[in-house]
């Protein structure tokens, strides 16, 4: 987490008319990179001590061993009968020279707020480090200083007021102290959510920087491994959890994790992802981490399905989901944000327009989630049968259109069923014109629901079965009815994680919308957000390199569809 305040010479800048005590009691302090639970280390440190005090190691004593030693010796001399814990937010890596049995040193960084709850007398080397301890209600002292401590307001101003500017951690725009504290507290919660170290398995090199930013926590950055055995061994060694890209999971990984009692979860792209295709190596700005299954495979209830089935959606969450849905519509955003506009196109006014979005036919969502209609040809035939008089638009999947993945239909054959092929056009423009969508499991169905269109679903995607779609696949009903805003709350607020692609910091869904809209507008309209040279390069990669990569993955026990012969029932 980057520094969010900078001290300048010159005119003072006041913190402003805020209740600093209540804001800082949100547990903000300095670096804010602490594990959520510090109680065990503190309890061990104070065990056997009678009314110990805290020697708070902040500021100059952190930077100089000599200063630290002198500070501790002054405290020991001032309280010859006292016992002390030596600790601070930057840690105290080595005991000060001349250590005493009256001292207990906590070498690792620790949240001082957790110390203030147990140690009510705090010694500081400089009054500038006394603010939080005073706000916590502690008695704050400086050794060899007989003057009374400054008033609390002066301590707050000394630490957070005069001469200090505050900046937004994502945009670097100047902000006030209260806003800065709120943002730091939010980022701190995301950071300490990763309070257990993560082992990642078989992640492609181009995905690693983004996943590292999602997974870093108080115990350090994620550890990358390539095999199931190495992953479990590293998880045991570091008391870590294992995360794996859902479609690249070694068959041996789940049983090995279960046998070793190592937590395992699958990772996949979220539903608001990027400007550009994953197949074109555009990094994703949202992921889902699912410890139950994965959202596109209905054979096992995913974390998303569980959330949608069991959650109570409070009014404030529903209101936020409604505002987010309206913002997605207003910003004209989708998962990949590619495609051209066709404002001047010839669109019929006297016929119902039905959009049929094609898919990658060997994607797991089709293989496992569409039990009857399993190909783009079958989908087009079913859509025409169900809508004989409609004006049928067929949109090939962008990855298929680029020649990266399977599922292409020859144009002449597609036009025997569809009235128009709309490859390369933006899905948003098409949804603006369509009255209805027919799909297997495409996310385009969810994007159509968000925009108020009717959707017929031939498969069992995450958004089907809740009473919002026409469900044509057997076994699609979930046994619960949801409002649209509740579905949006689960899919876009509760389930995914978001990352600002510019600052590489966790962010909210609303913040990501700002970034995606700006990136799309800067890039300008494009069929695939790829240059012709990039398309040729990626086609060569998929044709020549991917077979080799698949063979190497097979050797590591990775099968994209280990049960491909027994497709979903």
pLDDT in tens, 139-175: 999 998 888 888 888 888 887 776 778 899 999 999 8
- Main-chain phi, psi angles of 67, to 5 degrees: -65, -40
Of 10-14, 304-308, 368-372, minimum mean pLDDT range: 10-14
Q: Categorize the per-residue pLDDT at 377 as very low, low, confident or very high, splitting at 50, 70 and 90.
A: very high
- What pLDDT, in 10s, does the model give residues 482-524? 999 999 999 999 999 999 999 999 999 999 999 998 888 887 6
Q: Are 272 and 286 in contact (CB under 8 A)?
A: yes
- What pLDDT, in 10s, does the model give residues 6-43? 444 444 444 443 455 556 655 556 666 777 666 677 88
Neighbours of 560 (CB within 10 A): 15
- What pLDDT, in 10s, does the model give residues 50-96? 889 999 999 899 888 889 989 999 999 999 999 999 998 888 866 65
pLDDT above 50 for 204: yes
Tokens 């919002």 sit on residue: 468
Percentage of residues of the chain with pLDDT beyond 70: 81
- Main-chain phi, psi angles of 7, to 5 degrees: -90, 135
- What pLDDT, in 10s, does the model give residues 415-463? 999 999 998 788 898 999 999 999 999 999 999 999 999 999 999 999 9
Q: Both tokens of residue 552?
A: 């190497």
Query: Is residue 280 left, alpha or beta, with left meaning phi > 0 and alpha meaning psi from -120 to 50?
Result: alpha
CA distance 17 to 494: 34
pLDDT above 80 for 3: no
Indicate whether this model's pTM tops 0.85.
Answer: no
The DSSP string of 78-112 is H-TT--EEEE-TT---SPPSS--TTEEE--S---H
- What pLDDT, in 10s, does the model give residues 384-419? 999 999 999 999 987 777 666 788 899 999 999 999
Alpha helices in 194-340, H assignment, sequence order: 208-215, 228-238, 253-260, 303-310, 315-331
pLDDT of residue 96: 59
Average pLDDT over residues 225-232: 95
pLDDT of residue 470: 97
Alpha-carbon dihedral sign for residues 178, 182, 183, 184? positive
Domains parsed from the chain with CATH numbers: 5-185 (3.40.50), 315-548 (no CATH)
CA distance 235 to 379: 44
Q: Both tokens of residue 42?
A: 């503190």
Q: Are 376 and 359 in contact (CB under 8 A)?
A: yes
């Amino acid at each position: 987490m980057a520094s969010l305040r900078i001290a300048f010479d010159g005119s003072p800048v006041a913190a402003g008319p805020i209740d600093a005590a209540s804001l800082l009691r949100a547990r903000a302090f300095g670096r804010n990179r602490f594990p959520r639970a510090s109680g065990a280390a503190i309890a061990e440190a104070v065990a056997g001590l009678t009314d110990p005090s805290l020697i708070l190691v902040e500021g100059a004593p952190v930077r100089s061993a000599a200063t630290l030693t002198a500070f501790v010796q002054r405290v020991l001399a001032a309280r010859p009968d006292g016992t002390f814990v030596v600790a601070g937010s930057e840690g105290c890596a080595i005991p000060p020279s001349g250590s005493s049995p009256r001292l207990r040193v906590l070498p690792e960084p620790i949240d001082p707020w957790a110390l203030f709850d147990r140690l009510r007398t705090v010694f500081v080397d400089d009054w500038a480090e006394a603010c939080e301890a005073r706000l916590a209600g502690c008695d704050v002292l400086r050794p060899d200083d007989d003057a009374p401590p400054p008033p609390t307001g002066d301590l707050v101003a000394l630490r957070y007021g005069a001469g200090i500017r505050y900046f937004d951690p994502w945009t670097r725009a100047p902000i006030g102290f209260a806003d800065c504290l709120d943002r730091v507290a939010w980022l701190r919660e995301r950071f300490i959510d990763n309070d257990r170290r993560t082992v990642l398995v078989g992640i492609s090199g181009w995905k690693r920087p983004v996943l590292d930013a999602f997974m870093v926590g108080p115990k350090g950055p994620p550890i990358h491994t390539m095999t199931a055995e190495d992953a479990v061994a590293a998880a045991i060694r570091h008391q870590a959890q294992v995360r794996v890209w859902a479609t690249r999971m070694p068959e041996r990984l789940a049983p090995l994790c279960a046998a070793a009692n190592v937590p395992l979860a699958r990772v996949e792209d979220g539903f608001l992802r990027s400007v550009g295709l994953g197949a074109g190596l555009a990094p994703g700005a949202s992921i889902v981490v699912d410890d139950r299954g994965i959202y596109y495979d209905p054979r096992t209830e995913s974390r998303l399905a569980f959330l949608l089935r069991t959650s109570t959606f409070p009014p404030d969450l529903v209101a936020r989901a409604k505002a987010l849905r309206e913002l997605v519509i207003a910003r004209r955003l989708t998962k990949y944000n590619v495609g051209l506009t066709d404002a001047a196109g010839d669109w019929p006014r006297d016929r119902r327009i039905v959009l049929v979005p094609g898919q990658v036919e060997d994607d797991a969502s089709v293989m496992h989630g569409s039990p009857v209609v399993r190909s783009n040809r079958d989908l087009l035939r079913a859509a025409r049968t169900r809508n004989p008089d409609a004006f049928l638009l067929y949109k090939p999947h962008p990855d298929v259109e680029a020649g990266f993945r399977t599922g292409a239909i020859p144009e002449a054959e597609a036009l025997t069923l569809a009235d128009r092929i709309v490859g390369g056009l933006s899905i948003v423009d098409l949804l603006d014109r369509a009255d209805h969508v027919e799909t297997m499991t495409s996310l385009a169905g969810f994007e159509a629901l968000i925009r108020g269109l009717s959707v017929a679903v031939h498969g069992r995607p995450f958004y089907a079965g809740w009473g919002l779609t026409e469900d044509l696949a057997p076994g699609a009903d979930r046994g619960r009815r949801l409002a649209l805003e509740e579905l949006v709350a689960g899919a876009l607020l509760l389930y995914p994680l978001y990352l600002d692609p510019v600052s590489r910091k966790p962010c909210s869904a609303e913040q990501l919308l700002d970034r995606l809209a700006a990136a799309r507008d800067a890039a300008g309209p494009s069929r695939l957000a790829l240059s012709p040279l990039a398309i040729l390069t990626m086609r060569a990669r998929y044709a020549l390199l991917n077979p080799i990569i698949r063979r190497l993955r097979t050797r590591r026990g990775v099968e994209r569809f280990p049960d491909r012969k027994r497709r979903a029932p």
